[in-house]
Chain A
Amino acid sequence: MFERIKQMMIKEFHQIFRDKRMRPIIFLTPVLQLIIFGYAVTTDVNNVSLAVYDLDRSYESRELTRRFEASGYFQVFCSIERPEEVQDLLDRGKVLAVLQIDRGFSADIKKGKQAEVQVLFDGTDSNTALVAMSYANAIITGYAKSLGGPHVRASAARLDVRARAWYNPALRSKNYNVPGVIAIMIMLICLLLTSMAVVREREIGTMEQLMVTPLKPAEMILGKTIPFAIIGFFDMFLVTIVGVFWFSIPIQGSLPLLVLCTAIYLLSVLGIGLFISTISKTQQQAMMGTFLFFAPAILLSGLMFPIENMPVAVQYGTYLNPLRYFLVIIRGIFLKGNGIPILWPQMLSLFILGAAVMTISALRFRKRLV
């Protein structure tokens, strides 16, 4: 049993390393993805164009405006005189944000009352808006502190951006993205390799020859998935090392826990890869099947768009997405140093999902084999 699985794996590795197309997939793609996400798709937001609608015209309101400007994140594009202009500037995309300071702001501060400012954002690019919003929050909070009390509140914050700023104090999108890259890269590579490897044997005719041997379906499945799990781990370490040493991403949590969670995650990913292989006749179909799953899996994972912002029906759909759970886990481990006491619900969900997917695929696989 183990001997046969071992031989299947040895054979698989021989093939992988002799296949010239495989090497770039294993070694280059992960690093490339990391660089793209680390540099190009940087969601750090600078120089957000800001219009100021200062109705208070006091020393305090000017001071707050000055702080927005001095932060480096915002650039005052113009001052607004009439209320219609607020809507107009945002609509036409002239500015991304409007800082509105109502009359009575300075008076409230002086009286020690709760003072309010409004920051309106163009939510088209929800990510940028989100980040800019958290900057605005940080600036306002900073100003409030300098006054000696939490008197000033930004009433525009619809999302809980404070929590995020807390764990990623510089609000560096890299810190946030690199763990995400690890998660999607493991998924893409393992899905693609598993689904293609099985279909390939069917396509080139070696599957028929395997079927007439006493090799059992379970041995075949393990022999076909373990090599790609090993490659998945290898790529995880590769990207983590590049992330830590090149992009200086801190790992707050435990590395062994990361390895354990990756193993749980791989269960679903390999299961899905296997499933795709049972419904594909050709390698082309397997590749298409992989991307057909992969693209929505990324969009509906919370990697780029917060799940809370999605329609409710879609939110339920995300419960079937392994990436959803693993993102929370891997970000938790990297950024917050979370351990099992906090992450166990995600780990358990991921495990149940993985076990279910694997079982379904294995059953389908058995039918195809005999």
Chain B
Amino acid sequence: MPDAGVITITGLTKSFGDNIAVDDLHLEVRRGELFGLVGPDGAGKTTIMRLLAAIMSPDSGEAWIAGSSILHEGERIKEKIGYMSQRFGLYEDLTVMENIIFYADLYEVSKKERPARIERLLGFSNLTPFKGRLAGKLSGGMKQKLGLACALIHTPEVLFLDEPTNGVDPVSRRDFWRILYDLLKEQVTIFVSTAYLDEAERCTRIGLIHKGRLITTDTPAKVRKSIPLSMVEIWAPDARKAAEAAKGMAGVKDVSVYGNRFHVALAEVGLTDRIIEQLKEKGIAVIDHRQVLPSLEDVFIHIVRSSEL
């Protein structure tokens, strides 16, 4: 049994009928990492999470979580992990405190340790003033923090979070990530899935997945740099029209529009000036342009498109 990683995945595969949701996944996550599983809707993130949490059986392959096999030691895994499902999984008709106590009981947290632990969890999630409120009456951000508190009640070694900040306002999102960083200091391994690329940048390491396949894994910065891609950001009054025009030009690999500006991915660095020339020749107004580091999103789009070719 491999021991190098807290999470070791070898050849994990899962299909639903003809639909291959997870395709021959190999991955290793070390203790204390904050690993981000990044992929668009339907990429297979939730399925991977469920397989690793041993609540779904794979078609083939194997994985070990903190030394326990997902195939044979599902029950032991459940004691070692915390898991927060993509949908809010707590009882909306129970109060914050009732939910926490319910999970403390299910995980058999001893009566002695319980009060201190609950107080600490309520404290860092800022839920103390809302102890008696029904979970259904909490805001999206608070619900997610309550979910996190319940998933942490038994101090798990590995924490699985499936799109934890989906539909949460930016301030609560920042709060949530602050909590995750605090947890990292306590040597908890965090395995988080997200479709938000700005969040992926906050992970120590990420894996890009698309249609069930893991395309690349590295640090966010390296993933960004490893791509032979020059990126120019162009501001134009009619960005959509300008982008359309740029699409057909020689050396342009990719174009994506963001409001009044658009990103053009180029095969070479020196091509920028020629593109601007050509746009002006076509009578398209350009306000400004500058070289940018490709964002993770650019990289992702690029990788996905080239992998689809």
Verify A7–B105 contact, CB threshold 8 A. Answer: yes
A7 pairs with B93, CB closer than 8 A: no
Q: Which of B45-61 contact A (CB under 8 A)?
A: 50, 53-55, 57
> Which of A11, A213, A215, A370 is the most central at the interface, judged by chain B CB atoms within 10 Å of its CB?
A213
What sequence of 0s and 1s flags, for each residue 201-229 of chain A, a beta carbon within 8 Å of any chain B beta carbon? Answer: 00011101111111100000000000000
Pair A15/B94 contact, Cβ less than 8 Å: yes
Bitwise, B56-87 to A at CB < 8 A (1) or not (0) is 01000000000000000011001101011101
Residue in B closest to A220 when the chains form the complex, CB atoms: B106
| A308 at interface by CB-CB < 8 Å | no
Name the residue on A nearest B56 (C-beta).
A370
The number of chain A residues touching the other chain, given as a range, is: 20 to 34
Q: Which residues of the other chain, B, contact A4 by a CB distance below 8 angstroms?
A: 105-106, 108
- Cβ-defined contact, B55 with A3, below 8 A: no
Contacts of A209 in B (CB 8 A): 83-85, 89-90, 150
Q: Give 1 or 0 for each of A336-370: 1 = CB within 8 Å of chain B CB.
A: 00000000000000000000000000000000011
Main secondary structure of the interface of A (DSSP, over half): helix
The answer to whether B106 and A205 have CB atoms under 8 Å apart is no
C-alpha spacing A27/B196, complex, angstroms: 49
Within 8 Å by CB of A214, from B57, B102, B107, lies B107
Report the count of interface residues on B (CB-CB < 8 A).
Answer: 30
- Chain B residues with CB below 8 A from A206, complex form: 89-91
Check A370–B89 contact: CB distance below 8 A. Answer: no
Q: Decide if A14 is an interface residue (CB 8 Å cutoff).
A: yes
- Min CB–CB distance B206 → chain A (angstroms): 23
B103 CB-CB contact with A under 8 Å:
yes
Is there contact, CB below 8 Å, between A205 and B88?
yes
Q: How far is the CB of A263 from chain B (nearest CB, A)?
A: 26
Question: Contacts of B79 on A, CB cut-off 8 Å?
Answer: 214
Binary interface encoding of chain B residues 274-287 relative to chain A, with 1 for a CB under 8 A from any of its CBs, else 0: 00000000000000
Residue contact A214 to B75, C-beta cutoff 8 Å: yes
Q: Is B98 positioned at the interface, with any CB of A under 8 Å from its CB?
A: yes
* Bound-complex Cα distance A184 to B18 (A): 45
Taking each of B78, B92, B98, B106, which has the highest tally of chain A beta carbons within 10 Å of its own beta carbon?
B106
Indicate if the CB atoms of B94 and A211 lie closer than 8 Å. Answer: no
C-alpha spacing A18/B74, complex, angstroms: 34
> How many angstroms between the C-alpha atoms of A199 and B81 in the bound complex?
25
In the complex, what residues of A have CB within 8 A of residue B87's CB?
Answer: 205, 208
Chain A: CB-nearest residue to B53: A212
Residues of B within 8 A of A160 (CB): none
Closest chain-A Cβ to B9's Cβ sits at a distance in Å of 18
> Which residues of B are found within 8 Å of A15, using beta-carbon distances?
91, 93-94
Determine the distance from Cα of A15 to Cα of B50 in the docked complex, in whole angstroms: 27
Cβ distance A231 to chain B, nearest Cβ, rounded Å: 17
Those of A1-37 within 8 Å (CB) of chain B: 3-4, 7, 11, 14-15, 18-19
